[in-house]
Every structure is written in C-alpha cells, then in structure tokens.
Amino acid sequence: MGEFEVHRVRFFGLVPAGVRCLACHPRGSRLALARTDGAVEVYNFAANYFQEKVIPGHELRTVESLCWAAGDRLFGAGLSGDITEYDLSGLSAARGVDGGGGPIWSMVANSTGTQLAIGCEDGSVKIFQVVPGGIQFERNLDRRKGRVLCLSWHPSDTHIVAGSIDFFRVIDVTSGQTVQRIMVNHHVEKAKRECVVWAISLLSSGTVVSADSFGRVQFWDWEQGTLAESHTVSTSAALSLAVSEKEDSIIVGTSTGATYQLQLLPVTLGGQEKRWVRTKPFQFHSHDVRAVAHSPTALISGGLDAQLVIRPLMEKIQKKSYDAALRKFTFPHRRLVSCARKARLLLFQFSQYLELWRLGSTEETGKDGEVLPLCQMPEHLVQLKSKGPEHIYCSCVSPCGTWVGYSTASRFHLYRVHCDGDGVSLRKVPKVPKLLPPAYQLQFSADSDSLFVASARGSVHVFQLLEPGGCKHLHTLRPPSGVEGRCLPFLPRGSAQGGCVAEVSAVVPSVHCPLLQHHCTVPTYNCAVSALAIHPSTNNLVIAYSDQQLLEFSIPEKQYTSWSRAVQSRGLHRAWLERDSPITHITFNPKNPSHILLHDTYLLCVLDKSLPLPDDSTLLMNQSTLKQLPETARKRQLHAFKICKKFQPLLFMDLLDENCLVVVERPIMDFKTQLPLPVQQKKFGT
C-alpha cells in the first residue's frame, strides 16, 4: 500500500487522574467511577465496558464517594461537604446540597435506594431522603467524636455501621442511637499508632467486615462485640473492600497495589460450617487501590495509578468467551487530541489547560523502520489555561490552525491564533453567543469557516467564523422529536461541505444534510457509538461501535453501503471483535476513497475496502508476515485490515496528508514516573 512518514509524538504529558471511588449499579449493568480530579465516568458493562459517559471534574468538587440511588440516579459526595447529583443525560453536575457536617468522607444508599447516609468530618451520620428532583435532609443519627470514614447499611436497612479512626460503631437507624462501639486496635502491639478503618461492610448475617490501616480484614459479630476472624492481608493498609451480592466473596484493595479476594468456603467438602478464606491475590496496580467493586461476575479495582481493572471470576463465567478476559483501562475512551492538518498543529487537552504544538519536519526519506533526521524540531507554541475551577469538556483546533475552541461546563470559549514570525499569540473572540452549555463536542469545517458545537438535547449549533476574529450564530440543528431526550451529540469529522453533521445518541445516529434539516436516521444499533466520521468525497458515514462493529452508511442513499452489508454478512474477524479497547477515531485518506483509517489504544488500522475481507482462518495481523514475503507472493495474502501495533498506547492518530501520519503515544512508564511514589516495598535482590 505504501510508506508513511509517521510523526511519532510522545510529548503529550497527559497524566490520567487516579481512581478514587467506584460504584456498581445495583443491577450490575453499569459502573460509575470517580477520579481524584473530580471527574465522574460511567462504564457500560454490556457495551464491552465502554466508557459511555464522562462528566469532567471541577476544582472544588472532589468526589469521595459515589452511589446509585432511586434507580438510575447517581450521587456523589466529597470533601467540599456537598452532595451532588449527576445529570447523566446532560453530562453535568447539578447544584450540590450541603451536607451540613463538614467534609463528607463517605456516602451509601440503602438497599431500596430511597435514602442516603453520609458520614461527615464532624463525626455525624446524616440521612437524606431521595426525592424527585433532588434530596432532602431527613435526620441526624447519633453523633460521636471522630470523622466517619466509611459507612455501610445492613441489607434490611435497620442498622448502619460507621467506621472511624480506631473504632467503628453500629447505629440503629430507627432510634438513631449507637448500639455498639467496637475498638479495632484492641490487643494490638501497634496500638500506639492510630488504626484507621478505611472500609467497612455490614453483612446480612450481622457480621461486620472491616478493612483497616494495619492491613487487616476483620470479621466482627457486632451484637456480641467480638472478633470472629482476622486476616492480615497486607503489611500496609487495606484501603477498600467490596462484598458480592451473595455475600460469599469479598475483594480488598491495599495500598501496595495488590488486591485480594476472600471467599466464604465450607471447612470440609460439602460441610455446613463455612469460613472466610483468602483465596486469590492479584497485583494489577502499582499504587494504592482506593476503590474496589464486586460485580456478580467480576472483581473490579481502581487505583491511584489511574487504572481500572476488571478481572472476571472464571468460576462465574459459563463459557470461555471474551467476557472472561482481564481488562485494564488507563486512558479515556475518547479523544483528547485534535489536529490541524494543514497547519500541522496538535492541540492537547488537559483537565484545565490546552497545549498547542507544532510538529517538526524532515527533508529526508527512508525505508521502513528508519528514524529520519529532523530538520525542524517540534515546538510548543502556547499553553491556554482555562479560567475558573471547571475542567474542560472538549476542545478543537481548526484545520487551518487559526481557531481554537474549548468548552467547560458553563462556558464556551473561542480563540483566534495569530502566528507572527516566531511568536504565537491567542486572542479571545469577543461576544461569543451564549449557548445552552455545556458543549460536548466541537468541530470545525474542513475549510475552517464554520464551527459546529454539539450541545445538550442533541442540538447542534452552527457558527460562522468571521475574520479577523469574530463569529456569528447561524442556526441550530435539532434532532427529530422523540429522541432528543436521549441524545448525546457526536460530531463526525471530515465532512466536505461542512454542513453535514451527524449526531449520535447512545443508540441512534441521525444525520443532517446540508439543507439544514433533518435528513435521515441511521438504523438503530443496540450498542454505544465510539467513533464516527463522514467521508469527505463519498459522504459515507462510517460508524464504529463499542462492540467493535463497523458500519458504513451512505448518506445520499440513506442506507448501508454494499460494503457494509458485505461486512455484516461475512462477519468481522474474530480477533478484531475480541479487541478490548474501542475505536476512538476514524479518518480518511482524501486521495484514496477506499481507505479508512481508524485506531484504538493498541493498534492503528488502515482499512482498504477494495481488498477481500479476512476470514477467521487467516491471520488478522499479518503485516509482519507480509513483509517477509516476496512481492509476488504478497498478493494472495492481502486482506482489507492492515494493522500496525507499533505505536502503543495510542491516544490519537490522524492523516496529515496522503502519506504522512501523526500518532500520539503516551507510554505508561512516562506518566507513572509523574505519579506520587507508591508504598515502598522491598523487592528481592534490590
């Protein structure tokens, strides 16, 4: 097919924020995750663990605890002392309700999801009623000295157990009185040190399970106040624990990055007497595991090393399928980089600032694998700090490199980039029309004279960009009624006329034509869209779904293309379907309409529609094999998927021109070195 000059970029200094807390949806279909920067993400288990929703963080809004309540409502609470409800359709945080007890360390919902209990800095436990449209303070439970670090409801909602420093107590919910107070550092030599109960759980049998800073997981009979079992799982702190719904398995996260599974197993085979046994140790993380969750079929852990690890329990999985594979997610399932093709600029989006870089260049050419000498080094042009405490939702640079836009939860900003010689200056475009924030996606047209802003309820605003630095709101495209509530706009790249916009709800992509009226709706597919793009010349919409399906929809003909139908009837290659990271970006080769370029975190793929599709018996990743074959023998081996796995982990890939690619990598080691040091562990031989 040809040689590409690849600009291999590793200077995107993204440091993903650590995972602070996890909350499994009670029905096990979704997982909510909060990061240390306050961002909240929702993963959909059914859609191949796709990161469905991201609500960017806020400087003042840390999230210490997340919980699902009243069905699908998600609440978060943090050290700001507020309880915040998240609008999952609008991807924003509603105004918080003050908990009234200082910083909130923990929050749990009762089994029916009607009440929330919060544990506060001042030692109080407060109950809030979940009401439509918000929450309402109900009452205070018995307050004792010492911050309440963790809470757990009894499954029957009669008692709450609250863990503090050195002790935990059990509170009767109806009377509000403390009925038992148990010191956890009793009879411990280290008793001079304080023992922090980091996590606690009250089982239906009346057993209290606590995880403390001495690295112990202890089982207590709270009514007697006696210790039933104690397992020292780690020499450093046990930070988190989660109990399976059946209460036969516990996962514990520790500050050494190890997680342990404890299982309730019969003492003798077939016997009645059961004991908790530490069964499986895992070391997936390099840093503190602050959050764990136990789904019916998997152990889920999130660490300060920003990794989310989903480890399926083999015994719960009926057949060997892709569900049985271990998954690790470090990077977001969305794009944080945009590229100005013509100007060869890259815009990197960080949580509170943007960086604009100019790529270097070379004058040499070479053979496969060679590193070419640079005649011009890449250049960091400008850093644009976002004003205010809000984190950035999305950003974009225009293809010509003269416009940069970004949006936060409340505001949309547009800048004009002026390049004068060596210096680069940014000037804010004044009087940007007020929109209904936030903007979820921004997209400049190919000729850089208009800007599309995808906003709430599936609407898309079209701006005309005016020289030397102004803009005008032209119109707003709205999806047909009936779907707007569910819409999350999703702007495709590369539309030629600049007026053709696709927007995507979780299920339905719909397409607007240049005449600015609703043109058609792509047939529903029961999976989240992870990327989509419109081919500039053929006007085919290519959609990648989170279950790794690829569809091509012809906008003029309002139907799937014949190639797409062929793909569907043949089925994609098994190895393709079994990848575990979604396609995050699709682009095209303007010179060759049959080429589609796409990438996920681990591979980049050039899809050549003119070549035959591979079947399961052929090797999907055959590039290295092909390279060893003589020219003549290659023909028979060629297939449509040309996959390169050289660049990992891949955050972004785009085609600058016909044979020039830019790839943005973020090696894990690079950002690990920027994380705070983990607990030092003596390793043998060091």
**Cβ 537 to another protein shortest distance, Å:** 21
Contact with another protein (CB under 8 A) among 272, 318, 365, 617: 365
Strands in 78-233 per DSSP E: 82-87, 92-93, 97-98, 104-109, 115-120, 125-131, 134-140, 150-153, 159-163, 167-172, 178-183, 197-202, 207-212, 216-221, 226-232
Nearest alpha-carbon partner for 171 in 147, 202, 128, 146:
202
- Identify which range of 33-41, 356-364, 397-405, 416-424 contacts another protein by CB under 8 A: 356-364
With binding defined as CB under 8 A, does residue 374 bind another protein? yes
With binding defined as CB under 8 A, does residue 646 bind another protein? yes
With binding defined as CB under 8 A, does residue 372 bind another protein? yes
For residue 599, the one-letter residue type is H
With binding defined as CB under 8 A, does residue 598 bind another protein? no
Residue 597 in contact with residue 504, Cβ under 8 Å?
no
- Identify which range of 302-310, 320-328, 507-515, 638-646 contacts another protein by CB under 8 A: 638-646
With binding defined as CB under 8 A, does residue 366 bind another protein? yes
**Cβ 95 to another protein shortest distance, Å:** 42
**Cβ 566 to another protein shortest distance, Å:** 22
Q: Which residues contact residue 541 at a Cβ distance below 8 angstroms, ignoring those fewer than 6 apart?
A: 492, 502, 509, 511, 522, 532, 533, 534, 535, 552, 553, 554, 555
Contact with another protein (CB under 8 A) among 95, 271, 315, 377: 377
**Cβ 370 to another protein shortest distance, Å:** 5
Residue 230, classed as helix, strand or coil, is strand
Measured from the CB atom, is 377 or 677 closer to another protein?
Answer: 377
With binding defined as CB under 8 A, does residue 644 bind another protein? yes
Measured from the CB atom, is 515 or 669 closer to another protein?
Answer: 669
Contact with another protein (CB under 8 A) among 230, 361, 464, 521: 361
Nearest alpha-carbon partner for 396 in 410, 409, 378, 384:
384
List the strands of the sheet with 353-358, edge to edge: 337-340, 345-349, 353-358, 379-385
Strand partners, 44: 30, 50
Contact with another protein (CB under 8 A) among 19, 103, 642, 656: 642
Measured from the CB atom, is 6 or 108 closer to another protein?
Answer: 6
Of residues 611-630, those binding another protein (CB under 8 A): 623, 626-627
Residue 648 in contact with residue 602, Cβ under 8 Å?
yes
Helix (H) or strand (E) holding 291: strand 289-294
Contact with another protein (CB under 8 A) among 131, 191, 325, 371: 371
CA 488 to CA 473: how far, in whole Å? Answer: 21
Instruction: Tell how strand 50-55 and strand 40-44 pair up.
Output: antiparallel
- Number of residues located near another protein, criterion CB under 8 A: 38
Residue 616 in contact with residue 562, Cβ under 8 Å?
no
CA 623 to CA 611: how far, in whole Å? Answer: 14
CA 137 to CA 126: how far, in whole Å? Answer: 8
With binding defined as CB under 8 A, does residue 231 bind another protein? no
**Cβ 667 to another protein shortest distance, Å:** 6
**Cβ 585 to another protein shortest distance, Å:** 17
- Tell me the backbone φ, ψ of residue 563, rounded to 5 degrees: -65, -45
**Cβ 337 to another protein shortest distance, Å:** 14
Contact with another protein (CB under 8 A) among 426, 634, 672, 679: 634
CA 98 to CA 100: how far, in whole Å? Answer: 5
Q: Within 10 Å of residue 672's Cβ, how many Cβ atoms?
A: 15
Structure-block tokens of residue 613: 């599709």
With binding defined as CB under 8 A, does residue 384 bind another protein? no
Measured from the CB atom, is 432 or 638 closer to another protein?
Answer: 638
**Cβ 391 to another protein shortest distance, Å:** 25
With binding defined as CB under 8 A, does residue 632 bind another protein? no
Q: How many residues does the chain have?
A: 686
Contact with another protein (CB under 8 A) among 263, 362, 554, 648: 362
Of residues 394-433, those binding another protein (CB under 8 A): none
Site string for another protein, 305-344 (x = CB under 8 A): ----------------------------------------
With binding defined as CB under 8 A, does residue 685 bind another protein? no
With binding defined as CB under 8 A, does residue 191 bind another protein? no
Nearest alpha-carbon partner for 631 in 1, 47, 25, 211:
1
CA 236 to CA 234: how far, in whole Å? Answer: 5
Site string for another protein, 7-46 (x = CB under 8 A): xxxxx-----------------------------------
Contact with another protein (CB under 8 A) among 28, 155, 378, 499: 378
Structure-block tokens of residue 197: 């109960």
Measured from the CB atom, is 4 or 49 closer to another protein?
Answer: 4
Of residues 648-677, those binding another protein (CB under 8 A): 661, 667, 669-670
CB-hemisphere CA count at 13 Å for 136? 7
- Identify which range of 143-151, 259-267, 360-368, 428-436 contacts another protein by CB under 8 A: 360-368
**Cβ 663 to another protein shortest distance, Å:** 9
CA 161 to CA 106: how far, in whole Å? Answer: 12
**Cβ 670 to another protein shortest distance, Å:** 7
- Identify which range of 182-190, 367-375, 386-394, 447-455 contacts another protein by CB under 8 A: 367-375
List the strands of the sheet with 104-109, edge to edge: 104-109, 115-120, 125-131, 134-140
Measured from the CB atom, is 488 or 607 closer to another protein?
Answer: 607
**Cβ 586 to another protein shortest distance, Å:** 17
With binding defined as CB under 8 A, does residue 590 bind another protein? no
Strands in 435-492 per DSSP E: 441-444, 450-454, 460-466, 470-477, 487-488
Radius of gyration of the chain (CA): 27
CA 139 to CA 391: how far, in whole Å? Answer: 34
Residues forming contacts to another protein in the complex (CB under 8 A) are 1-11, 360-362, 365-372, 374, 377-378, 606, 623, 626-627, 634, 638, 642, 644, 646, 661, 667, 669-670
